[in-house]
Structure 1
Amino acid sequence: MTRDKEHISNPKALLFSLCFVLMFSVMNGTMFNIAIPDIAEAFQLLPSEVSWVMTGYIMVYAIGALVYGKLTDTIALKTLITFGLIVFTIGSLIGFIAPNYLFVLVARVIQAIGGSMIPAIAFIAPIRYFPNERGKVLGIISSVMAFASGIGPIIGGTIAGLLSWQFLFLSSALIIITLPFLRKNLPDEKTEFVKLDYLGASLVAGFIVTILMAITLGQVISFGFSLVFLILVFIRMNKAANPFIPPHLFRNQPYLVTLIVSFIGVACLFGLMFSVPIMLREVYQLSTLQIGITMFPGAMSAALIGRKGGQLVDQKGSREVFLFSLLLLLVGFFIVSSTVGVPPLYLALCLIFPMMCFPLVQASGADLLANILKDRETGVGMGVFNLLNFVSGAMSGAIVGKTLDLYKPNLPINPLGLEGTGSIFSNVYLTFSLLIMIGFVIFKYFHKEEQRKAG
Structure 2
Amino acid sequence: MTESITTAAVDPFDDPETSNKMAVRALIFLLITFILGTLCLQGFNLVFQQVGKDVGAVQQASLITALPSIVLGIVCFIYGSLGDFVSLKKLVVGGLAVLFVGSIFGFVANFFFDANLWTVIIARILQTAGEQVAGSVYLVITTKYLKPSLKVVFFGLFTAGYQLSAAIGVFAAGLLSSIAWQYLFLIPAVTIFFMPVLLRCLPSKSGNGEKVDWLGFTIFGLATAFLTLFFSYSKWWLLLVAVVLFAGFAVYINKAQNPFVTPAFFKNIRWIMAICLILVFYFNNYCMSPIFNAICRDVFGITNSATVSMHIVWAFLVAAFFGTTSGAIVDKIGRQTTLIIAACLMIVGFAGSAFVISTGIIALTLMACVFYAGVGLMYSPVVSTVLDTLPKEQSGRGVGMNDLVMNVTGSIGIAIFGGLMSSDALAGGSLVGVTGHQAVYSNLLLIAAAIALLGLVIYLAFRKRIYAEN
Question: How do 1:261-272 and structure 2 match up within 5 A?
Answer: 261-272=277-288
2:124 is matched with 108
3-state DSSP of counterpart to 1:188: coil
2:41 is matched with 29
1:67 and 1:5, CA in 2 relative to 1: closer, same or farther beyond 3 A? farther
Match of residue 104, structure 2, among 82, 93, 111: 93
3-state DSSP of counterpart to 2:388: helix
Separation in 2 of the partners of 1:372 and 1:196? 24
Match of residue 329, structure 1, among 346, 350, 354: 346
Q: Give the share of equivalent positions with the same residue, in percent.
A: 21
Residue 192 of structure 1 and its aligned partner are, at CA, apart by: 4.6
Residue 406 of structure 1 and its aligned partner are, at CA, apart by: 1.6
Give the conservation status (yes or no) of the 8 Å contact 1:340–1:418. Answer: no
Question: How do 1:171-320 and structure 2 match up within 5 A?
Answer: 171-284=187-300, 285-320=302-337
Separation in 2 of the partners of 1:153 and 1:258? 33
Output one character per residue of 1:345-373: Cα deviation in whole Å (capped at 9) or x when no partner: 22211211111122222111111122111
3-state DSSP of counterpart to 2:284: helix
Separation in 2 of the partners of 1:115 and 1:399? 28
Output one character per residue of 1:26-61: Cα deviation in whole Å (capped at 9) or x when no partner: 2222211122112211222243x2222112111111
Output one character per residue of 1:112-138: Cα deviation in whole Å (capped at 9) or x when no partner: 321221221122222223223111121
1:125 is matched with 141
Give the conservation status (yes or no) of the 8 Å contact 1:8–1:186. Answer: no
Give the conservation status (yes or no) of the 8 Å contact 2:140–2:395. Answer: yes
Match of residue 68, structure 1, among 65, 74, 79: 79
1:78 and 1:341, CA in 2 relative to 1: closer, same or farther beyond 3 A? farther
Separation in 2 of the partners of 1:336 and 1:5? 47
In the alignment, residue 92 of structure 1 is paired with which amino acid? S
Separation in 1 of the partners of 2:424 and 2:280? 22
In the alignment, structure 2 segments of 5+ residues that lack a partner are 1-10
Separation in 2 of the partners of 1:303 and 1:382? 21
Output one character per residue of 1:263-307: Cα deviation in whole Å (capped at 9) or x when no partner: 221121212133322332333324121111111221111111113
In the alignment, structure 1 segments of 5+ residues that lack a partner are none
Residue 186 of structure 1 and its aligned partner are, at CA, apart by: 2.9
Give the conservation status (yes or no) of the 8 Å contact 2:102–2:123. Answer: yes
Aligned residues: 450
Separation in 1 of the partners of 2:139 and 2:207? 19
3-state DSSP of counterpart to 1:144: helix
1:96 and 1:328, CA in 2 relative to 1: closer, same or farther beyond 3 A? same
Give the conservation status (yes or no) of the 8 Å contact 2:29–2:194. Answer: yes
1:143 is matched with 160
1:260 and 1:9, CA in 2 relative to 1: closer, same or farther beyond 3 A? closer
1:42 is matched with 54
2:19 is matched with 7
1:164 and 1:281, CA in 2 relative to 1: closer, same or farther beyond 3 A? farther
3-state DSSP of counterpart to 2:212: coil
Separation in 1 of the partners of 2:338 and 2:252? 36
In the alignment, residue 337 of structure 1 is paired with which amino acid? A
Separation in 1 of the partners of 2:124 and 2:313? 27
In the alignment, residue 86 of structure 1 is paired with which amino acid? A
Match of residue 170, structure 2, among 153, 156, 162: 153
1:110 and 1:336, CA in 2 relative to 1: closer, same or farther beyond 3 A? same
Residue 5 of structure 1 and its aligned partner are, at CA, apart by: 4.7
In the alignment, residue 313 of structure 2 is paired with which amino acid? F
Larger radius of gyration: 2
